[in-house]
């Protein structure tokens, strides 16, 4: 299903005209109403009228998260407080949060792009969505809620956590779809498997997963354990929340459509800020074209990805690839650039492992050290007649060989020597509804 075919299938030349018209209007507004942007444009020697189209965007400076924090709470708002009907905050854990505001039109926009995203994920009017995203200052819960209602779905607003009740309501209410973080969807799937529940008693067909990077291995695990199709939804609070882009469930592996009539994307080099060719990785930068309360010009998301046009796809809008990592979260270990998502990429090559992993950083003798913990896949060993409780006693040779192969894979693909530790099933932290922290950094303890 395509929610808004007139826009989602608009010819590229017409889409460019629409984007440029919206951009010019937005730039005039922020220059007149937001002192930060007037100062930034003046310092760059650029006036709004110098930007004739989206092709001129690289003449403008970037907006970064530090700018939002420096103008806390409402310094970047382009509308008066009386016209702002909702406030959300980022999920940051240190210092002042980044505050985002929405006018009534912004809420309608939010609902529109989420409705498009849900439709791309396979959802249709009349279906039931169990919303396991957190409600509150986090944008996920209310964002998916309003978008699902706009699509015509019935929403179960259970929020995150409380896995026992999640499973009970999935069965009793016969939800067609669930939205959650990928790690929490895996938690739900594993709990259903542990209980010996029959999937025939559930009606789930689709999962809409986002808010954290995830791997193809995790997708396969969730899909096989729940017998569903899982699609990635992407967003960030500063831009709108979830619904900036979304995979089409029938085009898995080709990227996520960005709703570029509202959010114009660029990929730039993380060091120089210069544009990067289509298909090459770099930092995703987004300009909001229609946001009223908090319009942002060339917002530096920090997410490393790619942009490509999939001309054989259902829609004309550009696609972004999976998030490779974050520019500000990239670890430099003994001179080697390292993203933890590189670990997730090769897990499917080892059927002995579950998708759950954790990276622990330490600094013995003033030198960075990395240990990667993996959970074993109990199904694999049970099929070989080895009970998980006796794994260490009965499978030492297998385990030693597995560890050696994993370490070699890491050295060959990442260029680092890492310690590898294996855990029994459930030996590593699991998501209870929120984002799962894959990195534990003890280097400064």
Predicted model pTM? 0.83
Nearest CA-CA partner of 67 in 296, 292, 325: 296
More confident residue, 334 or 403: 403
Mean pLDDT over each residue of the chain, to the nearest integer: 91
Nearest CA-CA partner of 113 in 150, 139, 138, 84: 150
Q: Which CATH class is domain 1-328?
A: alpha beta
**One-letter-per-residue 3-state SS of 128-159:** EEEECCCCCCCHHHHHHHHHHHHHCCEEECCC
Between the alpha carbon of residue 202 and those of residues 122, 130, 168, 250, 323, the distances in Å are: 17, 12, 10, 22, 31
Side-chain-side CA neighbours of residue 205 (13 Å): 13
- Delimit the domains of the chain by residue range: 1-328, 331-441
Out of 252-261, 290-299, 368-377, which region has the weakest mean confidence (pLDDT)? 368-377
- Read off φ and ψ for residue 32, nearest 5 degrees: -85, -30
Answer yes or no: are the C-beta atoms of 202 and 171 closer than 8 Å.
yes
Between the alpha carbon of residue 246 and those of residues 131, 191, 259, 308, the distances in Å are: 17, 27, 9, 14
Beta bridge partners of 256: 247, 320
The per-residue pLDDT for range 137-165, each reduced to its tens digit, is 999 999 999 999 999 999 999 999 899 99
SS3 for 428?
A: coil
In this structure, the strands spanning 336-338 and 86-89 are unpaired
> In angstroms, rounded to a whole number, what is the distance separating the alpha carbons of residues 120 and 314?
10
> In angstroms, rounded to a whole number, what is the distance separating the alpha carbons of residues 307 and 276?
9
H helix or E strand, kind and range, residue 289 = none
Percent of the chain with pLDDT over 90: 71
> In angstroms, rounded to a whole number, what is the distance separating the alpha carbons of residues 354 and 342?
15
Residue 173 has pLDDT above 50, yes or no: yes
* pLDDT reported for residue 254: 94
Between the alpha carbon of residue 227 and those of residues 196, 202, 220, the distances in Å are: 15, 10, 10
The per-residue pLDDT for range 224-260, each reduced to its tens digit, is 999 999 999 999 999 999 999 999 999 998 999 999 9
CATH architecture entry for 331-441? 2-Layer Sandwich (3.30)
Beta bridge partners of 372: 359, 420
> In angstroms, rounded to a whole number, what is the distance separating the alpha carbons of residues 64 and 60?
13
The per-residue pLDDT for range 80-130, each reduced to its tens digit, is 999 999 999 975 544 678 999 999 999 999 999 999 999 999 999 999 999
């Amino acid at each position: 299903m395509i929610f808004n075919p007139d826009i989602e299938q608009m010819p590229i030349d017409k889409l460019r005209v629409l984007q440029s018209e919206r951009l010019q209007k937005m730039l005039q507004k922020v220059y007149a109403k937001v002192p930060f942007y007037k100062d930034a444009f003046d310092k760059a020697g650029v006036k709004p009228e110098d930007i004739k189209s989206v092709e001129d965007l690289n003449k403008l400076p970037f907006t970064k998260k530090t700018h939002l924090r420096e103008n806390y709470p409402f310094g970047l708002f382009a509308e008066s407080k009386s016209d702002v009907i909702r406030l959300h905050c980022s999920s940051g854990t240190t210092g002042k949060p980044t505050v985002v505001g929405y006018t009534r039109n912004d809420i309608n926009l939010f609902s529109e792009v989420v409705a498009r995203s849900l439709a791309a994920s396979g959802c249709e009017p009349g279906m039931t969505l169990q919303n396991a995203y957190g409600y509150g200052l986090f944008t996920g819960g209310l964002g998916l809620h309003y978008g699902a209602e706009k699509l015509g779905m019935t929403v179960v607003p259970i929020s995150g956590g409380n896995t026992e009740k999640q499973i009970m309501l999935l069965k009793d209410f016969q939800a067609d779809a669930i939205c959650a973080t990928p790690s929490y969807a895996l938690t739900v799937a594993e709990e259903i498997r542990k209980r010996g529940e029959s999937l025939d008693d559930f009606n789930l067909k689709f999962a809409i997963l986002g808010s954290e990077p995830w791997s193809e291995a995790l997708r396969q695990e969730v899909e096989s354990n729940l017998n569903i199709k899982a699609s990635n939804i992407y967003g960030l609070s500063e831009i709108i929340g979830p619904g900036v882009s979304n995979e089409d469930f029938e085009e898995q592996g080709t990227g996520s459509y960005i709703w570029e009539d509202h959010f114009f994307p660029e990929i730039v080099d993380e060091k120089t800020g210069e544009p990067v060719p289509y298909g090459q990785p770099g930092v995703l930068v987004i300009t909001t074209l229609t946001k009223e309360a908090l319009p942002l010009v060339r917002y530096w998301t920090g997410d490393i990805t790619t942009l490509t046009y999939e001309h054989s796809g259902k829609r004309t809008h550009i696609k972004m690839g999976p998030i490779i990592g974050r520019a500000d979260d990239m670890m430099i270990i003994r001179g080697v650039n390292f993203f933890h998502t590189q670990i997730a990429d090769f897990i499917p090559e080892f059927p002995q492992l579950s998708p759950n992993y954790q990276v622990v950083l330490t600094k013995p003798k003033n030198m960075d050290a990395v240990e990667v913990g993996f959970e074993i896949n109990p199904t694999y060993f049970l099929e070989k007649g080895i009970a998980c409780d006796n794994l260490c006693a009965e499978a030492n040779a297998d385990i030693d060989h597995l560890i050696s192969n994993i370490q070699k894979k890491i050295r060959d693909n990442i260029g680092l020597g890492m310690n590898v530790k294996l855990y029994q099933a459930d030996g590593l932290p699991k998501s209870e509804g929120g984002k799962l922290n894959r990195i534990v950094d003890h280097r400064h303890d």
